[in-house]
Structure 1
Amino acid sequence: MSGLWQYFEENNEIFAALVAALAILGGLLGSVIGAKIQANGGRDQAAAAREAAAIAAEAQRVAALWTVRQVQIAEYIQGVRKVDRLACQYYLEDSADGALRMQLDEVQEDLSLKQAELELVAPTSVVHATRNLMFSINKIVQVSASEGPGAYRYHAVHSQTSNEESNVSALARQAVYALNNLRRASESGDLAAREAAYQVASQAVCSSMGWTPRQTGIALRYCLNTRSAEGRRRRAKQGLHEGTDALIEAARTMLKSEDDVAPTVPTQRRRWLRRSRSEAVPPTA
Protein backbone atom coordinates (compact mmCIF):
# COMPACT_ATOMS: atom_id res chain seq x y z
CA MET A 1 0.00 0.00 0.00
CA SER A 2 2.92 2.35 0.83
CA GLY A 3 4.38 1.62 -2.57
CA LEU A 4 1.10 2.63 -4.20
CA TRP A 5 1.04 5.90 -2.34
CA GLN A 6 4.67 6.54 -3.26
CA TYR A 7 3.77 5.92 -6.91
CA PHE A 8 0.95 8.44 -6.78
CA GLU A 9 3.21 10.93 -5.01
CA GLU A 10 5.74 10.62 -7.77
CA ASN A 11 3.02 10.83 -10.47
CA ASN A 12 0.68 13.60 -9.38
CA GLU A 13 -0.92 13.88 -12.81
CA ILE A 14 -2.12 10.25 -12.72
CA PHE A 15 -3.45 10.67 -9.18
CA ALA A 16 -5.38 13.80 -10.17
CA ALA A 17 -6.84 12.01 -13.19
CA LEU A 18 -7.87 9.05 -11.03
CA VAL A 19 -9.56 11.33 -8.50
CA ALA A 20 -11.43 13.10 -11.29
CA ALA A 21 -12.51 9.77 -12.79
CA LEU A 22 -13.77 8.57 -9.44
CA ALA A 23 -15.69 11.81 -8.97
CA ILE A 24 -17.30 11.48 -12.39
CA LEU A 25 -18.16 7.83 -11.75
CA GLY A 26 -19.67 8.71 -8.38
CA GLY A 27 -21.73 11.46 -9.92
CA LEU A 28 -23.03 9.14 -12.62
CA LEU A 29 -23.86 6.48 -10.05
CA GLY A 30 -25.68 9.04 -7.90
CA SER A 31 -27.67 10.25 -10.89
CA VAL A 32 -28.70 6.69 -11.80
CA ILE A 33 -29.79 5.94 -8.23
CA GLY A 34 -31.66 9.26 -7.98
CA ALA A 35 -33.39 8.68 -11.29
CA LYS A 36 -34.45 5.21 -10.15
CA ILE A 37 -35.84 6.56 -6.89
CA GLN A 38 -37.66 9.34 -8.73
CA ALA A 39 -39.12 6.86 -11.21
CA ASN A 40 -40.36 4.61 -8.42
CA GLY A 41 -41.88 7.59 -6.66
CA GLY A 42 -43.57 8.67 -9.89
CA ARG A 43 -45.11 5.25 -10.37
CA ASP A 44 -46.41 5.25 -6.80
CA GLN A 45 -47.84 8.73 -7.29
CA ALA A 46 -49.55 7.63 -10.49
CA ALA A 47 -50.98 4.55 -8.76
CA ALA A 48 -52.21 6.69 -5.88
CA ALA A 49 -53.81 9.12 -8.33
CA ARG A 50 -55.57 6.28 -10.13
CA GLU A 51 -56.79 4.89 -6.82
CA ALA A 52 -58.08 8.30 -5.73
CA ALA A 53 -59.88 8.75 -9.07
CA ALA A 54 -61.50 5.31 -8.72
CA ILE A 55 -62.64 6.12 -5.18
CA ALA A 56 -64.08 9.48 -6.29
CA ALA A 57 -65.86 7.87 -9.25
CA GLU A 58 -67.39 5.20 -7.01
CA ALA A 59 -68.52 7.82 -4.50
CA GLN A 60 -70.16 9.81 -7.30
CA ARG A 61 -71.88 6.68 -8.63
CA VAL A 62 -73.25 5.77 -5.20
CA ALA A 63 -74.46 9.34 -4.58
CA ALA A 64 -76.15 9.49 -7.99
CA LEU A 65 -77.85 6.12 -7.46
CA TRP A 66 -79.01 7.18 -4.00
CA THR A 67 -80.56 10.34 -5.46
CA VAL A 68 -82.29 8.46 -8.28
CA ARG A 69 -83.75 5.93 -5.87
CA GLN A 70 -84.95 8.62 -3.49
CA VAL A 71 -86.68 10.62 -6.24
CA GLN A 72 -88.32 7.61 -7.86
CA ILE A 73 -89.58 6.19 -4.58
CA ALA A 74 -90.99 9.58 -3.55
CA GLU A 75 -92.76 9.96 -6.91
CA TYR A 76 -94.12 6.43 -6.67
CA ILE A 77 -95.54 6.97 -3.17
CA GLN A 78 -96.99 10.30 -4.26
CA GLY A 79 -98.70 8.51 -7.14
CA VAL A 80 -100.11 5.86 -4.78
CA ARG A 81 -101.62 8.54 -2.57
CA LYS A 82 -103.09 10.26 -5.62
CA VAL A 83 -104.77 7.00 -6.63
CA ASP A 84 -106.20 6.73 -3.12
CA ARG A 85 -107.60 10.28 -3.29
CA LEU A 86 -109.12 9.74 -6.72
CA ALA A 87 -110.62 6.42 -5.69
CA CYS A 88 -112.34 8.18 -2.77
CA GLN A 89 -113.98 10.57 -5.23
CA TYR A 90 -116.22 7.73 -6.44
CA TYR A 91 -117.96 8.02 -3.07
CA LEU A 92 -118.18 11.82 -3.17
CA GLU A 93 -119.21 12.81 -6.70
CA ASP A 94 -121.14 11.66 -9.74
CA SER A 95 -118.68 9.71 -11.88
CA ALA A 96 -121.07 8.80 -14.65
CA ASP A 97 -119.29 10.96 -17.25
CA GLY A 98 -116.13 8.79 -17.06
CA ALA A 99 -113.76 11.68 -16.29
CA LEU A 100 -112.73 10.15 -12.97
CA ARG A 101 -112.04 6.82 -14.61
CA MET A 102 -109.78 8.53 -17.16
CA GLN A 103 -107.84 10.29 -14.40
CA LEU A 104 -107.30 7.03 -12.57
CA ASP A 105 -106.17 5.25 -15.73
CA GLU A 106 -103.60 7.98 -16.34
CA VAL A 107 -102.23 7.83 -12.79
CA GLN A 108 -102.09 4.04 -12.81
CA GLU A 109 -100.24 4.05 -16.11
CA ASP A 110 -97.71 6.47 -14.65
CA LEU A 111 -97.34 4.24 -11.59
CA SER A 112 -96.71 1.25 -13.81
CA LEU A 113 -93.87 3.14 -15.48
CA LYS A 114 -92.42 4.15 -12.10
CA GLN A 115 -92.54 0.55 -10.97
CA ALA A 116 -90.62 -0.57 -14.06
CA GLU A 117 -87.97 2.09 -13.37
CA LEU A 118 -87.63 0.97 -9.76
CA GLU A 119 -87.23 -2.63 -10.87
CA LEU A 120 -84.04 -1.54 -12.66
CA VAL A 121 -82.37 0.40 -9.83
CA ALA A 122 -83.91 -0.68 -6.52
CA PRO A 123 -82.99 -3.73 -4.42
CA THR A 124 -85.18 -6.82 -4.38
CA SER A 125 -86.97 -5.87 -1.15
CA VAL A 126 -88.23 -2.62 -2.67
CA VAL A 127 -89.23 -4.30 -5.93
CA HIS A 128 -91.30 -6.89 -4.04
CA ALA A 129 -92.92 -4.13 -1.99
CA THR A 130 -93.95 -2.21 -5.13
CA ARG A 131 -95.43 -5.34 -6.68
CA ASN A 132 -97.46 -6.12 -3.58
CA LEU A 133 -98.57 -2.51 -3.38
CA MET A 134 -99.63 -2.49 -7.02
CA PHE A 135 -101.99 -5.37 -6.23
CA SER A 136 -103.53 -3.29 -3.43
CA ILE A 137 -103.82 -0.29 -5.75
CA ASN A 138 -105.71 -2.28 -8.35
CA LYS A 139 -107.95 -3.71 -5.63
CA ILE A 140 -109.00 -0.37 -4.18
CA VAL A 141 -109.67 1.05 -7.63
CA GLN A 142 -111.79 -1.97 -8.48
CA VAL A 143 -113.79 -1.78 -5.24
CA SER A 144 -114.23 1.99 -5.46
CA ALA A 145 -115.39 1.92 -9.08
CA SER A 146 -117.84 -0.85 -8.23
CA GLU A 147 -119.23 0.38 -4.90
CA GLY A 148 -118.51 4.12 -4.97
CA PRO A 149 -121.23 5.28 -7.38
CA GLY A 150 -123.93 3.43 -5.43
CA ALA A 151 -122.66 4.79 -2.11
CA TYR A 152 -122.62 8.31 -3.54
CA ARG A 153 -126.25 8.13 -4.68
CA TYR A 154 -127.40 6.32 -1.55
CA HIS A 155 -125.95 9.02 0.70
CA ALA A 156 -127.17 11.75 -1.65
CA VAL A 157 -130.75 10.68 -0.87
CA HIS A 158 -130.03 10.94 2.87
CA SER A 159 -128.41 14.37 2.47
CA GLN A 160 -131.60 15.78 0.93
CA THR A 161 -133.51 15.19 4.15
CA SER A 162 -131.92 18.38 5.50
CA ASN A 163 -132.77 20.44 2.42
CA GLU A 164 -134.14 23.90 3.23
CA GLU A 165 -137.07 23.38 0.87
CA SER A 166 -139.67 21.49 2.83
CA ASN A 167 -141.17 19.65 -0.13
CA VAL A 168 -137.73 18.36 -1.18
CA SER A 169 -136.81 17.24 2.33
CA ALA A 170 -140.22 15.57 2.76
CA LEU A 171 -139.77 13.52 -0.43
CA ALA A 172 -136.22 12.63 0.67
CA ARG A 173 -137.48 11.38 4.05
CA GLN A 174 -140.03 9.20 2.27
CA ALA A 175 -137.26 7.82 0.05
CA VAL A 176 -135.03 7.10 3.05
CA TYR A 177 -137.92 5.34 4.79
CA ALA A 178 -138.49 3.21 1.69
CA LEU A 179 -134.77 2.36 1.50
CA ASN A 180 -134.74 1.26 5.15
CA ASN A 181 -137.76 -0.96 4.49
CA LEU A 182 -135.97 -2.44 1.48
CA ARG A 183 -132.95 -3.31 3.62
CA ARG A 184 -135.06 -4.94 6.30
CA ALA A 185 -136.99 -6.93 3.70
CA SER A 186 -133.75 -8.11 2.14
CA GLU A 187 -132.34 -9.18 5.52
CA SER A 188 -135.52 -11.11 6.32
CA GLY A 189 -134.99 -13.43 3.37
CA ASP A 190 -138.59 -13.02 2.16
CA LEU A 191 -138.20 -12.66 -1.63
CA ALA A 192 -141.76 -11.44 -2.17
CA ALA A 193 -141.41 -8.76 0.50
CA ARG A 194 -138.08 -7.76 -0.95
CA GLU A 195 -139.53 -7.41 -4.45
CA ALA A 196 -142.42 -5.25 -3.20
CA ALA A 197 -140.09 -3.08 -1.09
CA TYR A 198 -137.78 -2.67 -4.07
CA GLN A 199 -140.61 -1.30 -6.25
CA VAL A 200 -141.72 1.16 -3.55
CA ALA A 201 -138.16 2.34 -2.90
CA SER A 202 -137.51 2.76 -6.62
CA GLN A 203 -140.54 5.01 -7.05
CA ALA A 204 -139.73 7.01 -3.92
CA VAL A 205 -136.12 7.65 -4.91
CA CYS A 206 -137.06 8.61 -8.47
CA SER A 207 -139.64 11.09 -7.15
CA SER A 208 -137.24 12.55 -4.61
CA MET A 209 -134.08 12.83 -6.71
CA GLY A 210 -135.35 13.00 -10.28
CA TRP A 211 -132.98 10.22 -11.34
CA THR A 212 -133.28 7.82 -14.23
CA PRO A 213 -134.19 4.19 -13.47
CA ARG A 214 -130.56 3.20 -14.00
CA GLN A 215 -129.26 5.81 -11.54
CA THR A 216 -131.92 4.82 -9.04
CA GLY A 217 -131.02 1.15 -9.45
CA ILE A 218 -127.40 1.91 -8.55
CA ALA A 219 -128.51 3.43 -5.23
CA LEU A 220 -130.89 0.55 -4.48
CA ARG A 221 -128.31 -2.13 -5.16
CA TYR A 222 -125.92 -0.44 -2.77
CA CYS A 223 -128.70 -0.30 -0.19
CA LEU A 224 -129.12 -4.06 -0.49
CA ASN A 225 -125.39 -4.67 0.01
CA THR A 226 -124.34 -1.81 2.27
CA ARG A 227 -122.61 -3.92 4.92
CA SER A 228 -120.68 -6.12 2.51
CA ALA A 229 -119.77 -3.11 0.35
CA GLU A 230 -118.45 -1.19 3.35
CA GLY A 231 -116.47 -4.25 4.43
CA ARG A 232 -114.85 -4.59 1.00
CA ARG A 233 -113.92 -0.93 1.01
CA ARG A 234 -112.48 -1.13 4.52
CA ARG A 235 -110.34 -4.17 3.62
CA ALA A 236 -109.15 -2.54 0.40
CA LYS A 237 -108.15 0.65 2.26
CA GLN A 238 -106.35 -1.36 4.91
CA GLY A 239 -104.47 -3.35 2.26
CA LEU A 240 -103.41 -0.15 0.52
CA HIS A 241 -102.19 1.48 3.72
CA GLU A 242 -100.31 -1.64 4.83
CA GLY A 243 -98.72 -1.99 1.41
CA THR A 244 -97.69 1.67 1.42
CA ASP A 245 -96.18 1.34 4.89
CA ALA A 246 -94.26 -1.77 3.79
CA LEU A 247 -92.83 0.09 0.79
CA ILE A 248 -91.85 3.08 2.92
CA GLU A 249 -90.10 0.80 5.40
CA ALA A 250 -88.21 -1.01 2.60
CA ALA A 251 -87.28 2.32 1.02
CA ARG A 252 -86.03 3.78 4.30
CA THR A 253 -83.87 0.72 4.80
CA MET A 254 -82.52 1.05 1.26
CA LEU A 255 -81.74 4.75 1.74
CA LYS A 256 -80.35 4.19 5.27
CA SER A 257 -82.67 6.89 6.56
CA GLU A 258 -81.92 6.05 10.18
CA ASP A 259 -78.17 6.38 9.65
CA ASP A 260 -75.81 9.25 8.97
CA VAL A 261 -76.27 9.83 5.25
CA ALA A 262 -73.13 11.93 4.81
CA PRO A 263 -71.02 10.28 2.10
CA THR A 264 -68.04 8.37 3.40
CA VAL A 265 -64.98 7.90 1.20
CA PRO A 266 -62.23 5.44 2.17
CA THR A 267 -58.95 7.09 3.21
CA GLN A 268 -56.58 7.27 0.27
CA ARG A 269 -53.54 5.07 0.70
CA ARG A 270 -50.61 7.39 -0.08
CA ARG A 271 -48.13 4.66 -0.79
CA TRP A 272 -45.59 6.94 -2.46
CA LEU A 273 -45.49 9.21 0.61
CA ARG A 274 -45.00 6.33 3.02
CA ARG A 275 -42.25 4.92 0.83
CA SER A 276 -40.41 8.22 0.55
CA ARG A 277 -40.57 8.68 4.30
CA SER A 278 -39.20 5.20 4.91
CA GLU A 279 -36.31 5.86 2.53
CA ALA A 280 -35.51 9.12 4.29
CA VAL A 281 -35.09 7.40 7.68
CA PRO A 282 -31.59 5.80 8.01
CA PRO A 283 -31.56 2.15 9.10
CA THR A 284 -30.75 1.52 12.74
CA ALA A 285 -27.53 -0.23 13.62
Structure 2
Amino acid sequence: MKYFEDNPEIFAALVAAIAIVGGLLGSVVGAKIQAKSGMDQAAAAREAAKIAAEAQRVAALWNVRQVQVAEFIRSVRETVRMSNHIFWAYDADSRQETDAAYQELNLRMAEIELIAPQGVVDAAAELTQAAHDCWDLARSRGPAESAKLVLARLVFSPDNQTAEAAMAAQLVLQPDVDMSYDERRRVLLDLPGLSEAHVVHLLRSSRRVEDPGTPPLQELRAEAAATLEAKMPVLVEAAREMLRSEDDVAPAVPRQRRRTWWRGGRSQ
Protein backbone atom coordinates (compact mmCIF):
# COMPACT_ATOMS: atom_id res chain seq x y z
CA MET A 1 0.00 0.00 0.00
CA LYS A 2 2.95 2.35 0.71
CA TYR A 3 4.03 1.79 -2.88
CA PHE A 4 0.73 3.12 -4.12
CA GLU A 5 0.89 5.95 -1.64
CA ASP A 6 4.30 6.92 -3.03
CA ASN A 7 3.04 6.44 -6.60
CA PRO A 8 -0.54 7.75 -6.73
CA GLU A 9 -0.51 7.99 -10.52
CA ILE A 10 0.05 4.25 -10.79
CA PHE A 11 -2.76 3.61 -8.29
CA ALA A 12 -5.09 5.85 -10.30
CA ALA A 13 -4.19 4.00 -13.47
CA LEU A 14 -4.81 0.64 -11.80
CA VAL A 15 -8.18 1.75 -10.49
CA ALA A 16 -9.11 2.95 -13.97
CA ALA A 17 -8.00 -0.36 -15.49
CA ILE A 18 -10.03 -2.33 -12.97
CA ALA A 19 -13.05 -0.18 -13.74
CA ILE A 20 -12.63 -0.77 -17.45
CA VAL A 21 -12.20 -4.52 -17.03
CA GLY A 22 -15.18 -4.64 -14.69
CA GLY A 23 -17.26 -2.72 -17.19
CA LEU A 24 -16.24 -5.07 -19.96
CA LEU A 25 -17.06 -8.11 -17.86
CA GLY A 26 -20.41 -6.58 -16.96
CA SER A 27 -21.16 -5.92 -20.60
CA VAL A 28 -20.24 -9.49 -21.57
CA VAL A 29 -22.34 -10.99 -18.79
CA GLY A 30 -25.23 -8.67 -19.63
CA ALA A 31 -24.98 -9.55 -23.31
CA LYS A 32 -25.03 -13.26 -22.49
CA ILE A 33 -28.05 -12.85 -20.27
CA GLN A 34 -29.83 -10.82 -22.92
CA ALA A 35 -28.94 -13.33 -25.63
CA LYS A 36 -30.20 -16.20 -23.46
CA SER A 37 -33.38 -14.30 -22.78
CA GLY A 38 -33.84 -13.63 -26.48
CA MET A 39 -33.33 -17.29 -27.35
CA ASP A 40 -35.82 -18.39 -24.68
CA GLN A 41 -38.34 -15.87 -25.90
CA ALA A 42 -37.88 -17.06 -29.49
CA ALA A 43 -38.29 -20.69 -28.37
CA ALA A 44 -41.40 -19.75 -26.42
CA ALA A 45 -42.78 -17.95 -29.46
CA ARG A 46 -42.13 -21.01 -31.64
CA GLU A 47 -43.82 -23.30 -29.14
CA ALA A 48 -46.79 -20.95 -28.85
CA ALA A 49 -47.12 -20.92 -32.64
CA LYS A 50 -46.92 -24.71 -32.70
CA ILE A 51 -49.61 -25.00 -30.02
CA ALA A 52 -51.83 -22.51 -31.86
CA ALA A 53 -51.39 -24.40 -35.14
CA GLU A 54 -52.26 -27.70 -33.46
CA ALA A 55 -55.31 -26.17 -31.79
CA GLN A 56 -56.43 -24.79 -35.16
CA ARG A 57 -55.95 -28.20 -36.78
CA VAL A 58 -57.96 -29.95 -34.06
CA ALA A 59 -60.77 -27.39 -34.30
CA ALA A 60 -60.86 -27.67 -38.09
CA LEU A 61 -60.95 -31.47 -37.93
CA TRP A 62 -63.76 -31.35 -35.37
CA ASN A 63 -65.77 -29.06 -37.63
CA VAL A 64 -65.21 -31.26 -40.70
CA ARG A 65 -66.22 -34.38 -38.80
CA GLN A 66 -69.35 -32.74 -37.44
CA VAL A 67 -70.45 -31.55 -40.87
CA GLN A 68 -69.66 -34.81 -42.67
CA VAL A 69 -71.45 -37.00 -40.13
CA ALA A 70 -74.52 -34.76 -40.25
CA GLU A 71 -74.50 -34.87 -44.06
CA PHE A 72 -74.10 -38.64 -43.99
CA ILE A 73 -77.11 -39.08 -41.72
CA ARG A 74 -79.15 -36.72 -43.90
CA SER A 75 -78.14 -38.72 -46.98
CA VAL A 76 -79.17 -42.01 -45.36
CA ARG A 77 -82.59 -40.63 -44.53
CA GLU A 78 -83.03 -39.17 -48.00
CA THR A 79 -82.11 -42.47 -49.65
CA VAL A 80 -84.63 -44.35 -47.50
CA ARG A 81 -87.31 -41.72 -48.04
CA MET A 82 -86.92 -41.85 -51.81
CA SER A 83 -86.82 -45.66 -51.74
CA ASN A 84 -90.11 -45.80 -49.83
CA HIS A 85 -91.63 -43.32 -52.27
CA ILE A 86 -91.10 -45.75 -55.15
CA PHE A 87 -93.62 -48.15 -53.59
CA TRP A 88 -96.29 -45.45 -53.70
CA ALA A 89 -95.60 -43.42 -56.82
CA TYR A 90 -93.06 -44.83 -59.23
CA ASP A 91 -91.99 -43.14 -62.45
CA ALA A 92 -88.76 -42.52 -64.34
CA ASP A 93 -88.04 -39.37 -62.36
CA SER A 94 -88.49 -41.03 -58.98
CA ARG A 95 -86.21 -43.89 -60.05
CA GLN A 96 -83.53 -41.42 -61.13
CA GLU A 97 -83.84 -39.36 -57.95
CA THR A 98 -83.61 -42.47 -55.77
CA ASP A 99 -80.49 -43.68 -57.58
CA ALA A 100 -78.94 -40.22 -57.24
CA ALA A 101 -79.66 -40.21 -53.49
CA TYR A 102 -78.01 -43.61 -53.12
CA GLN A 103 -74.93 -42.50 -55.07
CA GLU A 104 -74.63 -39.47 -52.81
CA LEU A 105 -74.83 -41.78 -49.80
CA ASN A 106 -71.88 -43.77 -51.13
CA LEU A 107 -69.91 -40.53 -51.53
CA ARG A 108 -70.72 -39.51 -47.96
CA MET A 109 -69.60 -42.93 -46.75
CA ALA A 110 -66.25 -42.48 -48.51
CA GLU A 111 -65.83 -39.12 -46.77
CA ILE A 112 -66.56 -40.69 -43.39
CA GLU A 113 -63.88 -43.31 -44.06
CA LEU A 114 -61.32 -40.55 -44.59
CA ILE A 115 -61.97 -38.36 -41.55
CA ALA A 116 -63.61 -40.41 -38.79
CA PRO A 117 -62.23 -42.88 -36.21
CA GLN A 118 -62.68 -46.58 -36.91
CA GLY A 119 -65.63 -46.93 -34.54
CA VAL A 120 -67.61 -44.30 -36.46
CA VAL A 121 -66.54 -45.80 -39.81
CA ASP A 122 -67.78 -49.26 -38.79
CA ALA A 123 -71.12 -47.91 -37.57
CA ALA A 124 -71.55 -45.86 -40.75
CA ALA A 125 -70.75 -48.89 -42.91
CA GLU A 126 -73.46 -50.95 -41.22
CA LEU A 127 -75.96 -48.12 -41.62
CA THR A 128 -75.01 -47.79 -45.30
CA GLN A 129 -75.67 -51.50 -45.79
CA ALA A 130 -79.07 -51.15 -44.14
CA ALA A 131 -79.93 -48.21 -46.42
CA HIS A 132 -78.69 -50.22 -49.42
CA ASP A 133 -81.07 -53.07 -48.53
CA CYS A 134 -84.00 -50.61 -48.48
CA TRP A 135 -82.88 -49.11 -51.78
CA ASP A 136 -82.34 -52.48 -53.48
CA LEU A 137 -85.71 -53.80 -52.34
CA ALA A 138 -87.44 -50.67 -53.61
CA ARG A 139 -85.75 -50.88 -57.03
CA SER A 140 -86.65 -54.55 -57.50
CA ARG A 141 -90.17 -54.61 -56.04
CA GLY A 142 -91.30 -51.00 -55.77
CA PRO A 143 -92.36 -50.33 -59.39
CA ALA A 144 -94.75 -53.29 -59.47
CA GLU A 145 -96.25 -52.38 -56.09
CA SER A 146 -96.79 -48.82 -57.28
CA ALA A 147 -98.54 -50.11 -60.43
CA LYS A 148 -100.75 -52.38 -58.30
CA LEU A 149 -101.83 -49.36 -56.27
CA VAL A 150 -102.78 -47.51 -59.44
CA LEU A 151 -104.81 -50.51 -60.57
CA ALA A 152 -106.48 -50.81 -57.16
CA ARG A 153 -107.53 -47.15 -57.29
CA LEU A 154 -109.10 -47.75 -60.69
CA VAL A 155 -111.08 -50.67 -59.26
CA PHE A 156 -112.69 -48.21 -56.84
CA SER A 157 -113.28 -45.60 -59.51
CA PRO A 158 -116.68 -43.87 -59.34
CA ASP A 159 -116.99 -44.59 -63.05
CA ASN A 160 -118.57 -48.06 -63.29
CA GLN A 161 -117.09 -48.82 -66.70
CA THR A 162 -113.58 -48.01 -65.50
CA ALA A 163 -114.08 -50.03 -62.31
CA GLU A 164 -115.28 -53.08 -64.25
CA ALA A 165 -112.35 -52.85 -66.68
CA ALA A 166 -109.95 -52.58 -63.76
CA MET A 167 -111.40 -55.71 -62.12
CA ALA A 168 -111.06 -57.56 -65.41
CA ALA A 169 -107.44 -56.40 -65.60
CA GLN A 170 -106.79 -57.80 -62.13
CA LEU A 171 -108.15 -61.14 -63.24
CA VAL A 172 -105.83 -61.43 -66.24
CA LEU A 173 -102.86 -60.98 -63.90
CA GLN A 174 -103.68 -64.22 -62.08
CA PRO A 175 -101.04 -66.87 -62.88
CA ASP A 176 -103.65 -69.58 -63.64
CA VAL A 177 -105.43 -67.55 -66.36
CA ASP A 178 -105.08 -69.24 -69.76
CA MET A 179 -103.97 -66.19 -71.76
CA SER A 180 -100.79 -65.34 -73.61
CA TYR A 181 -98.52 -62.49 -72.59
CA ASP A 182 -99.66 -60.38 -75.52
CA GLU A 183 -103.35 -60.97 -74.73
CA ARG A 184 -102.86 -59.91 -71.13
CA ARG A 185 -100.88 -56.90 -72.25
CA ARG A 186 -103.70 -55.74 -74.57
CA VAL A 187 -106.29 -56.01 -71.81
CA LEU A 188 -104.17 -53.92 -69.49
CA LEU A 189 -103.31 -51.29 -72.07
CA ASP A 190 -107.02 -50.83 -72.85
CA LEU A 191 -107.58 -49.68 -69.27
CA PRO A 192 -107.47 -45.85 -69.02
CA GLY A 193 -105.17 -44.75 -66.26
CA LEU A 194 -102.53 -47.44 -66.72
CA SER A 195 -99.35 -46.37 -68.50
CA GLU A 196 -97.25 -48.72 -70.57
CA ALA A 197 -94.66 -48.73 -67.77
CA HIS A 198 -97.37 -49.77 -65.30
CA VAL A 199 -98.39 -52.61 -67.59
CA VAL A 200 -94.81 -53.85 -67.98
CA HIS A 201 -94.27 -53.96 -64.24
CA LEU A 202 -97.63 -55.59 -63.55
CA LEU A 203 -96.93 -58.35 -66.06
CA ARG A 204 -93.41 -58.90 -64.71
CA SER A 205 -94.77 -59.17 -61.21
CA SER A 206 -97.45 -61.67 -62.26
CA ARG A 207 -94.74 -63.91 -63.72
CA ARG A 208 -92.44 -63.65 -60.70
CA VAL A 209 -91.76 -67.00 -59.10
CA GLU A 210 -90.57 -66.67 -55.53
CA ASP A 211 -88.48 -69.23 -53.72
CA PRO A 212 -90.58 -71.20 -51.23
CA GLY A 213 -88.62 -69.78 -48.29
CA THR A 214 -88.83 -66.14 -49.38
CA PRO A 215 -90.81 -64.04 -46.89
CA PRO A 216 -93.66 -61.84 -48.17
CA LEU A 217 -92.75 -58.38 -49.40
CA GLN A 218 -94.26 -56.58 -46.42
CA GLU A 219 -92.20 -58.71 -44.09
CA LEU A 220 -89.05 -57.94 -46.06
CA ARG A 221 -89.78 -54.23 -45.90
CA ALA A 222 -90.48 -54.38 -42.17
CA GLU A 223 -87.23 -56.23 -41.58
CA ALA A 224 -85.23 -53.72 -43.61
CA ALA A 225 -86.83 -50.80 -41.74
CA ALA A 226 -86.17 -52.43 -38.35
CA THR A 227 -82.51 -53.01 -39.21
CA LEU A 228 -82.13 -49.41 -40.27
CA GLU A 229 -83.79 -48.18 -37.08
CA ALA A 230 -81.44 -50.31 -34.98
CA LYS A 231 -78.26 -49.18 -36.78
CA MET A 232 -78.93 -45.44 -36.66
CA PRO A 233 -78.54 -44.99 -32.86
CA VAL A 234 -75.25 -46.91 -32.97
CA LEU A 235 -73.79 -44.39 -35.41
CA VAL A 236 -75.21 -41.43 -33.51
CA GLU A 237 -73.68 -42.65 -30.26
CA ALA A 238 -70.28 -43.26 -31.89
CA ALA A 239 -70.39 -39.83 -33.53
CA ARG A 240 -71.32 -38.11 -30.26
CA GLU A 241 -68.38 -39.78 -28.55
CA MET A 242 -66.06 -38.69 -31.37
CA LEU A 243 -67.31 -35.10 -31.15
CA ARG A 244 -67.38 -35.13 -27.33
CA SER A 245 -70.94 -33.87 -27.43
CA GLU A 246 -71.34 -34.16 -23.66
CA ASP A 247 -68.60 -31.57 -23.11
CA ASP A 248 -69.20 -27.84 -22.80
CA VAL A 249 -66.80 -27.04 -25.63
CA ALA A 250 -66.68 -28.53 -29.09
CA PRO A 251 -63.05 -29.24 -30.01
CA ALA A 252 -60.48 -30.71 -27.67
CA VAL A 253 -57.62 -28.19 -27.69
CA PRO A 254 -54.17 -29.37 -26.55
CA ARG A 255 -53.07 -28.07 -23.11
CA GLN A 256 -50.85 -25.04 -23.55
CA ARG A 257 -47.48 -24.97 -21.75
CA ARG A 258 -45.84 -21.88 -20.30
CA ARG A 259 -42.15 -21.24 -20.80
CA THR A 260 -40.10 -19.09 -18.38
CA TRP A 261 -36.69 -17.97 -19.54
CA TRP A 262 -35.56 -17.23 -16.01
CA ARG A 263 -35.93 -20.93 -15.16
CA GLY A 264 -33.67 -22.15 -17.89
CA GLY A 265 -36.42 -22.51 -20.49
CA ARG A 266 -38.16 -25.33 -18.64
CA SER A 267 -41.85 -25.83 -19.38
CA GLN A 268 -44.30 -25.33 -16.59
TM-score, scaled to structure 2: 0.79
Go from structure 1 to structure 2 and tell me whether the alpha carbon gap of 1:236 and 1:30 turns closer, same or farther (over 3 Å shift).
Answer: same
Structure 2 counterpart of 1:185: none
What one-letter code is carried by the residue in structure 1 that aligns with 2:49? A
Distance 1:164 1:12, change over 3 A: same
Q: 1:51 aligns with which of 23, 47, 50?
A: 47
Equivalent in the alignment of 2:131: 137
Q: Which structure's residues are more often helix, by fraction?
A: 1
**Corresponding residue for residue 269 of structure 1:** 258
Distance in 1 (CA, whole Å) between partners of 2:242 and 2:152 is 49
Q: Is the 8 A contact 1:153 1:218 kept in 2?
A: no
* Structure 1 range deviating more: 206-215 or 104-113: 206-215
Q: 1:240 aligns with which of 215, 228, 231?
A: 228
Which residue among 195, 211, 218 is the counterpart of 2:176? 195
The question of whether the paired residues in 2 share the 8 Å contact of 1:119 and 1:127 is answered with: yes
The number of residue pairs the alignment matches comes to 252
- Does residue 107 of structure 1 match 2:101? yes
* Structure 2 residue 244 is matched with structure 1 residue 256: yes
1:42-121 equivalences under 5 Å are: 42-95=38-91, 98-121=92-115
Q: Check the 8 A contact 1:129/1:243 in 2, yes or no.
A: yes
CA deviations over 1:231-279 (Å, ceiling 9, x no partner): 0011112222323332222212111112122453423312215559xxx
User: Which segments of 5 or more consecutive residues in structure 2 lack a partner in the other structure?
Assistant: none
Distance 1:258 1:163 in 2: 56
Q: Against the structure 1 CA distance between its residues 32 and 147, is the aligned structure 2 distance closer, same or farther, given a 3 Å change threshold? A: same
What is the RMSD of the two structures over their aligned residues, measured on CA atoms? 3.3
Flag the 1:162–1:196 CA change in 2: closer, same or farther, 3 A: closer
Question: Does residue 1:146 correspond to 2:140, yes or no?
Answer: yes
Please say if 1:158 is aligned against 2:139. Answer: no
* CA shift in 2, pair 1:214/1:14, >3 Å: closer
Identity among equivalent positions (%) equals 42
Whether contact under 8 Å (1:161, 1:170) holds in the other structure is: yes
One-letter identity of the residue aligned with 1:90? I
Q: Which amino acid aligns with 2:203?
A: G
User: Relative to structure 1, is the Cα distance of residues 216 and 89 closer, same or farther in structure 2, using a 3 angstrom cutoff?
Assistant: same
Deviations 1:60-118 (A, max 9, x none): 111111111122222222211111111012111133xx333322332222222222222
Post-superposition Cα deviations, 1:164-200, rounded to whole Å, max 9, x if no partner, equal 4354456657878x69xx7xxxxxxxxxxx725999x
Q: 1:38 and 2:34 equivalent?
A: yes
Tell me what 1:217 maps to. Answer: 203
CA distance in 1, matches of 2:31, 2:133: 76
Letter in 1 for 2:231: G
Normalised to the residue count of structure 1, the TM-score between the two structures is: 0.74
How many Å separate the matches in 2 of 1:227 and 1:80? 25
